[in-house]
Structure 1
Amino acid sequence: MTEILDADLRRRTWELLQPGEIELDGLVATTAFDSSEETAMHQATVEIGDCIAEHAGFDPTETFVYSGTDDPEFASNQHQGLTLGDESFVWECQQLFRDGSFDVVFYFEATGDTAALVADVRALGYEGFGVSGNAEGPADAGIDPE
C-alpha cells in the first residue's frame, strides 16, 4: 500500500513541477508525526529546509520560513524558505497528512545534486525520495541515492 501511495505522491509532485518559470526538483520527506505533533512537524520542516538551503548554496542562517498567515494565497500547511536580504525563493513545501502521519513535499530550484540532498535528509533521520522536474514523466522522475 505504501508503494502505491508513494507512486501517487511522486506523480502528483512531478505534475506540480511542470512547466515552470524555473527548473524545479522536489523532495518528499516522510515523517512519523501525527496531527498532535505540530511543534515537531515545524522543526522537521525547518531542518529539512536548512538542508535544502545548504545544497542550493545558501547559508541557512541567512534564510527564514514564511508561512503566509497574512496571505490569502497560502494554504494552512504551506511554507516558503526565503533569503533574509531580498526574500528570494529558496524552497517551498506542503505538509500533507496521509495514512496517519505527515509527509512534507518540498520544491526547490534544480541547481544541485538532488540525490545527495536526499541522502543528507535521510541522514537527518527522515525517509524520503527526490523527484526530478526535468524527467519525461512521473515514472522516470524518482531520485534515490541508493
Structure 2
Amino acid sequence: MSETLDDDLYQRTLQLLEPGEIELLGAIVHTDLESEEDLEMQELTVSVNEILADHAEKGETYIYAGNDTDEFASNQFQGLTLDDESFVWECQQLLREGTFDLVFYYEAGPDQDALTDDLEALDRVDRVTPVP
C-alpha cells in the first residue's frame, strides 16, 4: 500500500476514535486478501473477533452484521457479548489497492502491543497498525 493511502487510512481511523461515550482504540489489519477472497476475509474477521474478545476479557462474543437496520453500512460489523449484547468492537472491511484492510475499533483496555502481536500472527495478515 502506498504511504499516502496508508497515512490517509490511519488519519481517518484516528478521527473515528475521538472522544465519545467510551474511550476507543483501533487497529488496522492489513491483509494480502484480494477482492475475490471475500469468504477468506470473513473467516479472518471471525479470527480477529476471537482475539479481540480474549484481550477485552468480556466473555464470548458473536458478530452482528446489522442487516436488520439502516444504521449499518455494507461491510460494517460489530462484536457483541453473548450475555448482554455489550459492545466489544466494530469493524469496517475496506478494499484498498486490490487487497482488504480491516479497520477495528474497540474499547480501550487491552494491551495494544500484545494485541498487535496476536493479530499479526494470523494467517493472511501482512501487518497491523495500532491506532493510536
TM-score, scaled to structure 2: 0.93
Question: What secondary structure, in the 3-state scheme, does the structure 2 residue paired with 1:26 have?
Answer: strand
Q: 2:53 is matched by which residue type in structure 1? A: A
Equivalenced residues, count: 130
Q: 2:5 is matched by which residue type in structure 1? A: L
Q: 1:38 Cα deviation (Å)?
A: 1.6
Matching residue of 2:77? 79
% same residue? 53
Matching residue of 2:30? 30
1:54-65 equivalent positions in 2, closer than 5 A = 54-59=54-59, 62-65=60-63
Matching residue of 1:135? none
1:49-128 equivalent positions in 2, closer than 5 A = 49-59=49-59, 62-125=60-123, 126=125, 127-128=127-128
How well do the aligned residues superpose, as a CA RMSD in angstroms? Answer: 1.1
CA distance in 1, matches of 2:5, 2:113: 21
Q: 1:94 is matched by which residue type in structure 2? A: Q
Q: 2:112 is matched by which residue type in structure 1? A: T
CA distance in 1, matches of 2:20, 2:27: 16
Q: 1:31 is matched by which residue type in structure 2? A: T
In the alignment, structure 1 segments of 5+ residues that lack a partner are 133-146
Question: What secondary structure, in the 3-state scheme, does the structure 2 residue paired with 1:33 have?
Answer: strand
In the alignment, structure 2 segments of 5+ residues that lack a partner are none
Q: Which structure has the highest strand share of the two? A: 2
CA distance in 2, matches of 1:9, 1:75: 17
Question: What secondary structure, in the 3-state scheme, does the structure 2 residue paired with 1:74 have?
Answer: coil
Q: What are the Cα deviations for residues 83-104 of structure 1, in whole angstroms up to 9, with x where unaligned?
A: 0111000000000110001100
